[in-house]
Structure 1
C-alpha cells in the first residue's frame, strides 16, 4: 500500500529516465524461445530517443540483432531499493522496440558520447562485431560486450500504485532526477548513520496505525522522499513531500530537517552570545 502527502512527484517519464541510470537492465528478443533474456550493464538513452545497450558478445540476443532490419525486442528495467528490505523492487519499466547492432563505424563516437554522461567501466570492454564473430561465447570469463541500439515504440512504468504508458516524446522531454546517481549512497548513510532521524520522521509524519512497524528510507527525489514501513500486515510506503523542490545535497538535507520541524528553518535564529 502506498500513501502520499500532497505535493508534486516525478513524472513517469522522469522515473524511467532515472531507471535507465540506476536500474538493472534485462534485454530479450520479443516472442522468441531461442534467445534467453540477457543482463545489460549499459543502458543509455540518446537524444534521438533510441537506447544504446551493451550485452555480452556472442550472446544469442546480440546475434539475433545483427541484421539490417533488426528484431523486435523488450528491455526490462528493475528499480531496486539500495537497502536490504523485505521487498526491494520499487518499480518496473518495460520498453518495446526494434533492436539492431550498432554499425562498427559508429561505435567509437557512441562510446565517447555515453562515457561523457555515464563513465561505466563496461564501456571499456565493448568490442567491434567483426572481432567478436566466432571468438566469444556467452558464459566466458572476460568476454567483452557488443553494442546494440533499441528504437523504442512503447514504454510502461509499473509500481505499487499501478501502471502507466509513456510516449517516446515524453521520455525525450524528461530529465533524470538530479539525485538518482547518489540516491543509493544517501539512503544507505541515512539508514545506517542516522536511524534516529528516520524514527523522528515516522513519529511526527506517519499515521498512528503505521508507527508500530519498522520504518526505513525507501527513496528520495527532488520533490520528496518515501518511507517504507514493514509490519505484520504487510509493507506500507509513505510519501513525504518537501516544502519546495531541491537541487543539491545541501538543500536536500535542509528539506529533511524541515520535515522534522527544525525551528531554525521556520524563521527562528540561534541566540547570539
Structure 2
C-alpha cells in the first residue's frame, strides 16, 4: 500500500514563522557577549537586517562573525516552553547611512515594529535620554539551522526567500489562549481524537498552523508532541474554523442546523 503522508510546514516555513513570532533575539558577536536585537528581518537579497544598540554598532569591524539566535516559545504554559531555536550564522556589515531610511521603510511595510522608530538615520530627531537608540546592520548569511524536539536541520537561504510565514503565526498565541480559556470543551474534543496512549498525562495545545493543531503530552516518562492534521491546508479564519470542526467530528461543518 502507498504511504500516506500528512502535510506539515516545511523547514523554511517554520523558520519564517519563528522569525515573525520572535519579539526579540540575541546577537552574539565575536569578541563581545550576546546582545538583544529588537529588529531581525530577512531582506529580499537574503541578508538579515538587525538592530543593535548604537554603542555596539559604532565599534563594529565590517566582516565580524556573528550568530543570530531566535527563540520560538510555546504560547501556553508547558513544562519545556521552548518549541524551537533558529541559528543564523554569518558576517556583519554596516549599512551606508543614506540607505538606512529606505531599508527601514521596506521592513515597515512587512513588519511595523515600533523599534524601527528608534533606529538612527541621518535625519533622526535628537534622542530622548531614556530611549534606547539602535544602529541598523546587515548580517550576510552563511548558514541557517533550526533545532526542535525532532532534531536539527539546515535550510538554504534560497528556500527561506521562497517560503512565507504561516498565515496564522501572528495570531497563533491569541487563538490558542482563546481556545484553552474560553472553549476548553473544543480542546477536550480534539484531545479525544488523539491515540489512547497519548492521552495519558497532561495534554495542552502547543501550536497551530495552516496544516493542523499540535499538542504537548507531558507524562511521567517525558514529553511528546503530536499533530492533528486538518483535512486540507487552510489560509483564513473561515477555513480554520471549519477545519477544527472537522477534527472535532462536528456534524455542523458550515454552521447549519440539523434537519428535523
**Fold shared, TM-score > 0.5 on shorter chain:** yes
Residues of 2 paired with 1:28 and 1:198: CA distance? Answer: 40
Question: Scaled by the length of structure 2, what TM-score is found?
Answer: 0.90
User: For 1:260 and 1:118, how far apart are their aligned partners in 2?
Assistant: 34
Give matches, 1:45-124, under 5 Å.
Answer: 45-59=42-56, 62-65=57-60, 67=61, 69-124=62-117
d(CA) in 1 for partners of 2:121, 2:86 = 29
Q: Where in structure 2 are there 5+ consecutive unaligned residues?
A: none
TM-score normalised to structure 1 length? 0.86
Aligned position for 1:26: 26
Structure 1 residues 151 and 268: alpha-carbon distance in aligned structure 2, compared to 1, 3 A threshold = closer
Query: How do residues 72-221 of structure 1 correspond to structure 2 at under 5 angstroms?
Result: 72-128=65-121, 141-203=130-192, 205-221=193-209
1:244 aligns with 2:232: yes
Asked if the contact 2:75/2:173 (under 8 Å) is kept, the reply is yes
- How far apart are 1:194 and its partner, in Å? 1.2
Greater relative contact order (Cα < 8 A, sep 6+):
1
Q: Distance in 1 between matches of 2:200 and 2:65?
A: 48
Number of matched residues? 255
Q: Which residue of the other structure, out of 212, 216, 219, is the alignment partner of 1:231?
A: 219
What residue ranges of structure 1 are gaps of 5+ in the alignment? none
What is the rounded CA distance, in whole Å, between the counterparts of 1:201 and 1:79 in structure 2?
A: 24
Residues 253 and 143 of structure 1, relative CA distance in 2, 3 Å threshold: same
Give the Å deviation of 1:70. 2.4
Distance 1:189 1:70, change over 3 A: same
C-alpha separation between the residues in 2 aligned to 1:58 and 1:98? 18
Q: Per the alignment, in what secondary structure is the counterpart of residue 102 of structure 2? A: helix
Deviation at 1:212, TM superposition (A): 2.7
Matched residue, 1:39: 36
Indicate if the aligned counterparts of 2:98 and 2:122 stay in contact, CA closer than 8 A: no
* Residues 121 and 109 of structure 1: CA distance in aligned 2, closer, same or farther (over 3 Å): same
Cα deviation, residue 192, structure 1: 1.2
